[in-house]
Amino acid sequence: MLDKSRLRSSAVVLCAAAAALALAGCAAKKAKPDLAYIERPVDQLYAAGAIQLDQHHWNEGVTYFKEVERQHPYSEWSRRAIMMQAYAHYESNNYEEAVADANRFIELYPGTTAAAYAYYLKAECYFEEILDVGRDQAASQQALSGMREVVRRFPHTEYAEDARLKIDMINDQLAGKEMTIGRYYLRAGDTISAIGRFKTVVDKYQTTSDTPEALYRLVEAYLTLGLVDEAKRNAAVLGYNFPGEPWYADAYHLMESKGMRPDVLPTGTGHGLMRRVNRMLNHHDAHAGMPAPTSVDTSLSAAPAAVTAPDGTTATDSATTSTAPAAKPKKKGLFDWLHI
């Protein structure tokens, strides 16, 4: 009996050991080891990484550029390799790593011409992570801050030119978020909270396409609360700045239905039911080709006095030569702007 027990115990131990070895073998297969350290000329390592990027093998390219840093840490190629890692991480949608690479480059080489690209790449990473207006807009805020930083630090560069366009798009996104919440409050009967959201759009995002609707909603909300003077003021601002907007036509008819006729006649027609539905469905489509908006004058002096009763808005210098990868369509031209 004792011998059998010992045999069983030994078998259990052997099985456990075999299982442990099998698991270790599987883990070893899954892990992606770095390149074995074989000292190679820096230009060969860098070129190998560039070829991987040219073939859109982003992770493999990162491996070679890391090897450039490891074997030749004080070379000019090492500086370039950091930025190429950032670009590869960006293209593989690994935005967190791309931002970390860009920050590392900025910390080590803040005075180089490529620093502008590093700042822009960071902002672009946040821009790519922007979600629809029904979701949290933390990435929108980070993207806005990043794009503004690019414009502030490098105002006369091609990065700043693109950043300015995207700032308008981000502001429109943030305004859309405020409008979504404001409409929700309005439907829920929380008129005071709704007014706060609509005022934020008018005060903070007045150059966006949401401003006419925000002014109309303020007219609507103030009339609901019986604050006629505030309703008149916002209707006047809406009519002065957007006389041809359907939202002003709606505001005009709403005020008229309450016994007050604004001085400015609407030059457009109001929203029919289907036009309202289509506007809501298409409001946050692509912004490409939109003209630059103008500021809205919300001062009372700019508005037509009052609303009376009826009787009275380089080519790349990355040392990759012809091996530079083409950018993905959604990020057109980003690699071409890399001057390192």
CATH number of the domain where residue 137 is located: 1.25.40.10
| pLDDT of the residue at 35 | 55
Summarised one tens digit per residue, pLDDT across range 223-232 is 999 999 999 9
Return d(Cα 213, Cα 211) in angstroms, integer: 5
299 inside domain: yes
143 inside domain: yes
Average pLDDT, the chain: 76
Confidence of residue 263 (pLDDT cuts 50, 70, 90): confident
65 inside domain: yes
241 inside domain: yes
The residue ranking higher by pLDDT, 249 or 323, is 249
| pLDDT of the residue at 334 | 54
- Regarding whether 48 and 185 lie in a shared domain, the answer is yes
- Regarding whether 324 and 308 lie in a shared domain, the answer is no
Residue 262 has pLDDT above 50, yes or no: yes
34 inside domain: no
- Regarding whether 330 and 242 lie in a shared domain, the answer is no
CB atoms within 10 A of CB 277: 11
Confidence of residue 330 (pLDDT cuts 50, 70, 90): very low
Q: Which phi and psi (to 5°) does residue 280 adopt?
A: -65, -35
- Regarding whether 321 and 178 lie in a shared domain, the answer is yes
This prediction has a pTM of 0.67
Placement of tokens 């074995």 in the chain: 36
At 317, list the tokens.
């210098």
- What total number of domains does the chain contain? 2
- The C-alpha angle with vertex 76 and arms to 49 and 55, in degrees rounded to 5, equals 15
- Regarding whether 216 and 123 lie in a shared domain, the answer is no
Confidence of residue 195 (pLDDT cuts 50, 70, 90): very high
State the residue range of the domain holding 112: 40-189+317-340
- Regarding whether 237 and 162 lie in a shared domain, the answer is no
172 inside domain: yes
